[in-house]
Amino acid sequence: MTGRGLIRRRIDVSGIVQGVGFRPYVYGLAQQLALAGWVENNPSGVRIEIEGPAELVDDFVEQLPVGAPPLAAIEELTVSPAVVEAAPGFRILESRRSGPTAALVAPDVAPCSACLREIRTPQDRRFGYAFTNCTNCGPRYSIMTDIPYDRPNTTMSAFTLCRQCELEYGDPTDRRFHAQPVCCPACGPRLSITVDQAAASIRRGMIVAVKGVGGYHLTTLARDAAAVADLRGRKHREDKPFAIMVGDLRAAEQLCSVTEAEAGLLASPQRPIVLLPRRSDAAVAPTVAPFTTELGLMLPSSPLHQQLLDAVEEPIVCTSGNRSDEPIAFLDDDATNRLAPIADVFLSNDRPIRTRVDDSVYRVVDEQPYPIRRSRGFAPAPLMVPWPAARPVLALGADLKNTIAFHRGRHVFVSHHIGDLDDFATFRSFTDAIAHLGRLLDIEPAVAAFDLHPDYRSSRHGAELDDFDHVAVQHHHAHIASCLADAGRQGPVIGVAFDGLGYGDDGTFWGGEFLLADLVGYDRRAWFAPVPMPGGDQAARQPWRMAAVYLDALGEADRADLAVAARCPRWDDVLQLARTGTRSPLTSSVGRLFDAVASLLGVRDEVSYEGQAAIELEQIADRTETIGYRPVIDEADDRLLIRGDRFVADVVRDLRAGVPEPVIAARFHNGIADAVVATCEAIRDQTGTSTVALSGGVFLNRLVLTAAQRGLRQTGFEVLRHRQVPCNDGGISLGQAVIVAARDRAGERGAIG
Ligand code: ZN
Ligand code: ZN
Ligand code: FE
């Protein structure tokens, strides 16, 4: 064979192309076109050299991205000429490691249909095998101990491949070629008890701890009120809804109404929990999700869960394996200790989990996914931003719903959900994530970004990192920047950041902000008129305190006709705190205003989880009510102050007039949305900016989100909202990361602020 008529091309592919069956796919395509050359994993992705007749090589280049395996995500594909070697055959070269690894870490994904078929086929050697996986599915991030992604660098390293598995692993034409977690009943992990035993226990009303992909779940029969009540008691979880796992989409539709977009998200390889409107005839114990008209459903996220659901034959509660606010158990000894008082039975196994990865939680808004918690199935796949970071950034997030992020080049790698850092075990997983994810991504950050709040654990940790530059980022600016980055934009926008609390640059607590912002800076144009927050953090746990404060602002706190004062014995003490300013920091938080109204309406005086009062207020709101309380906005210099107390005055007036609570709740929601629109219009008049970004945890409230969005669009605004990371504090790390990178590009100061 001579080089005549042959061409050779070098193809570099970046993106998620390792550990997802990309090389066998390339091999298959080359075989099919009878082309020569090789493929290898390298630090930046996959490199291919392909040689043959020009026409066929062109075909190869054209087909390559089209037929890529389902889990591959190609970001860039470059083709360059290479010198013809005239060597026959196509080979897959061994992984090698040198230089910086820009390769991406794949998330964990649910079983593919081919694997499910095998475990359901009696003649198959993997019949009934709970750890079946292939290059198209299975665990990834949760089992990775190091890079490159090869079996010795996973928690499967202790399991030696049997002869048959080895053949599959080494056969380029096999679906399991180089599938690192490949195994079978003869050589792989084993269950501690059988699926049938676990299923029988669940059917008898017991609580079963199930070791899943990223941690332990606690499961029990969803329609069994006694079992669910037991679980709540033992887990010390009062009201926060439990998620339900269903065997398939048909079972989901028996509990909830499910749109096509929602069904697509439920059945996606990421298998998130999706919040859905509950059907009135849903056979689910009321205590599964009290005080809400929704249910969080998910489809099985592993072959084990699928088998369990097939055996139980009805929906099960599937909630995180922990006690109240602790992190989810994922190490076996720890799970045995902590979950023993809760679970009657353990369905465990001997495949270690390296990294705890919680279930992701989504909603669908306007046919689009709207993340609430981005974790299993999604993390740590990167977000692409249009502008590169000049130096690698580590962003440490916020103290609640913590995530961290690494920014390198045009990628921002937002971590799995880490949680609330005031728990010591969670704080340990925070520091572990900084080290471990940094190592897997092979990033050595030069700068640490963290929240401006001096008392956040994440901030203190960041400030103490040696050999880093340190940048403190204002919380609500980070919210808006995360929304911008999520949309691939850099502003300027009118950023509406509504949340529970964040530390402001004036030392008060913000949470009802309108920032004229870009990625570099911000100018605080408008906010909710500050009120005292008596007792500080305690006010967030006891919404009635905010009711007291707002009534006091109206001169109504001492009136006896409002039930809330009578219900709350420490009413006068709290008023005293607020009036004297003792332990009463000022706040512009919209979250706290929602708390006040929820308490006034008798919805909730004390919460057992963050945001509960506002969530329940939204639940009772009458969807048919179109009136909204008229926002009152004061202007001073060119700053605007929205008067939260005027909303409360309207609430009180309607309460006294006997207007039903659901109608009042709706009018309040509509009024907040109207305040967003009116304030944005005023800022547009002042600044000419006509794009609005909606961020902060309050925008998980669907009524406020959709009403504000509708009103803004009707008045000519372009509206940006979150799609890839949550609007709550889970998105803060992304915002911090892109702000630091943008400041690097802009020099010290940008156009705004
Ligand atoms: Zn598979
Ligand atoms: Zn085997
Ligand atoms: Fe926040």
In terms of phi and psi (left: phi > 0; alpha: psi -120 to 50; beta: otherwise), the region of 429 is alpha
Among 591, 371, 609, 364, which Cα is nearest to 497's? 591
Determine the average pLDDT of the residues in 355-362. 97
As a whole number, the mean pLDDT across the chain is 94
Contact present, 8 and 81 (Cβ < 8 Å): yes
Using DSSP, how many helices (H) and how many strands (E) does the chain show?
23, 27
Q: State the distance from the centre of ligand 2 to the C-alpha of 120, rounded, in angstroms.
A: 18
Q: State the distance from the centre of ligand 1 to the C-alpha of 175, rounded, in angstroms.
A: 8
Q: State the distance from the centre of ligand 3 to the C-alpha of 444, rounded, in angstroms.
A: 27
Residue 148 pLDDT grade (very low, low, confident, very high; cuts 50, 70, 90)? confident
Distance (Å) of CA 434 to CA 411, 413, 416, 421: 17, 12, 11, 14
Percent of the chain with pLDDT over 90: 86
**What kind of architecture, by CATH, is found in domain 382-473+731-745?**
2-Layer Sandwich (3.30)
Domain positions in the chain: 6-92, 195-362, 382-473+731-745, 498-722
Q: Is the pLDDT of residue 102 over 90?
A: no
Ligand nearest to the CA of 136: 1
Locate 376 and state its tokens: 């299993």
Contact present, 437 and 130 (Cβ < 8 Å): no
Q: State the distance from the centre of ligand 2 to the C-alpha of 189, rounded, in angstroms.
A: 10
Q: State the distance from the centre of ligand 3 to the C-alpha of 478, rounded, in angstroms.
A: 9
Tens of pLDDT along 624-679?
999 999 999 999 888 999 999 999 999 999 999 999 999 999 999 999 999 999 99
Residue-level pLDDT at 568: 87
E-assigned strands of 465-616? 469-473, 493-503, 509-517, 522-528, 531-532, 586-587
Q: State the distance from the centre of ligand 1 to the C-alpha of 247, rounded, in angstroms.
A: 18
Determine the average pLDDT of the residues in 335-339. 93
Residue 96 pLDDT grade (very low, low, confident, very high; cuts 50, 70, 90)? low
What are 414's strand-pairing partners? 405
Distance (Å) of CA 320 to CA 130, 542, 677: 20, 25, 39
CA dist 739 and 31 (Å) reads 47
- Between the two ends of the chain, the Cα-to-Cα distance in Å is 68
Q: Is the pLDDT of residue 141 over 90?
A: yes
Q: Is the pLDDT of residue 610 over 90?
A: no
CA dist 389 and 692 (Å) reads 25
Q: Is the pLDDT of residue 100 over 70?
A: no
Decide whether 382-473+731-745 matches 498-722 in CATH topology: yes
Run of H or E including 320: strand 316-320
Residue-level pLDDT at 581: 92
Ligand nearest to the CA of 169: 2
Determine the average pLDDT of the residues in 235-253. 95
Ligand nearest to the CA of 132: 1
Classify strands 36-42 and 90-92 as parallel, antiparallel or unpaired.
parallel
Tens of pLDDT along 276-296?
999 999 999 999 999 889 999
DSSP at 281: T
Q: State the distance from the centre of ligand 1 to the C-alpha of 128, rounded, in angstroms.
A: 14
Tens of pLDDT along 524-560?
999 999 999 999 989 999 999 999 999 999 998 887 7
Q: State the distance from the centre of ligand 1 to the C-alpha of 373, rounded, in angstroms.
A: 25
Q: Is the pLDDT of residue 308 over 60?
A: yes
Q: State the distance from the centre of ligand 2 to the C-alpha of 125, rounded, in angstroms.
A: 9
Ligand nearest to the CA of 185: 2
Run of H or E including 546: helix 543-553
Ligand nearest to the CA of 735: 3
Q: State the distance from the centre of ligand 2 to the C-alpha of 152, rounded, in angstroms.
A: 16
Q: State the distance from the centre of ligand 2 to the C-alpha of 512, rounded, in angstroms.
A: 57
Among 600, 599, 598, which Cα is nearest to 617's? 598
Q: State the distance from the centre of ligand 3 to the C-alpha of 464, rounded, in angstroms.
A: 23
Determine the average pLDDT of the residues in 599-605. 96
Q: Is the pLDDT of residue 1 over 50?
A: no
Residue-level pLDDT at 103: 63
Contact present, 71 and 106 (Cβ < 8 Å): yes
Locate 722 and state its tokens: 């979150």
Count Cβ neighbours within 10 Å for each residue of 541-576 and write b for 16 or more, e otherwise: bbbbbbbbbbbbbeebbeeeebebbeebeebeebbe
Q: State the distance from the centre of ligand 2 to the C-alpha of 566, rounded, in angstroms.
A: 68
Measure CA 318 to chain center.
18
CA dist 186 and 168 (Å) reads 14
Percent of the chain with pLDDT over 70: 97
Q: Is the pLDDT of residue 365 over 50?
A: yes
Among 114, 53, 44, which Cα is nearest to 75's? 44
Q: State the distance from the centre of ligand 1 to the C-alpha of 107, rounded, in angstroms.
A: 14
Q: State the distance from the centre of ligand 1 to the C-alpha of 215, rounded, in angstroms.
A: 20
Q: State the distance from the centre of ligand 1 to the C-alpha of 133, rounded, in angstroms.
A: 5
Q: State the distance from the centre of ligand 1 to the C-alpha of 137, rounded, in angstroms.
A: 4
**What kind of architecture, by CATH, is found in domain 498-722?**
2-Layer Sandwich (3.30)
Q: State the distance from the centre of ligand 3 to the C-alpha of 299, rounded, in angstroms.
A: 30
CA dist 34 and 8 (Å) reads 13
Q: State the distance from the centre of ligand 1 to the C-alpha of 590, rounded, in angstroms.
A: 46
Q: State the distance from the centre of ligand 1 to the C-alpha of 462, rounded, in angstroms.
A: 40
Among 467, 441, 235, which Cα is nearest to 338's? 235
Secondary structure of 125-154 in the HEC alphabet?
Answer: CCCCCCCCCECCEECCHHHECCCCCCHHHE
Q: State the distance from the centre of ligand 1 to the C-alpha of 111, rounded, in angstroms.
A: 5
Contact present, 212 and 304 (Cβ < 8 Å): yes
Ligand nearest to the CA of 71: 1
Amino acid at 142: S
Ligand nearest to the CA of 399: 3
Q: State the distance from the centre of ligand 2 to the C-alpha of 133, rounded, in angstroms.
A: 12
Ligand nearest to the CA of 512: 3
Tens of pLDDT along 448-471?
999 999 999 999 999 999 999 999
Amino acid at 222: A
DSSP at 291: T
Domain 6-92 has CATH 3.30.70.100: yes
CA dist 688 and 182 (Å) reads 58
CA 484, 490, 496, 497: dihedral to nearest 10 degrees?
60
Residue 207 pLDDT grade (very low, low, confident, very high; cuts 50, 70, 90)? very high
Q: State the distance from the centre of ligand 3 to the C-alpha of 367, rounded, in angstroms.
A: 25
Q: State the distance from the centre of ligand 2 to the C-alpha of 127, rounded, in angstroms.
A: 13
Q: Is the pLDDT of residue 736 over 50?
A: yes
Domain 195-362 has CATH 3.90.870.10: yes
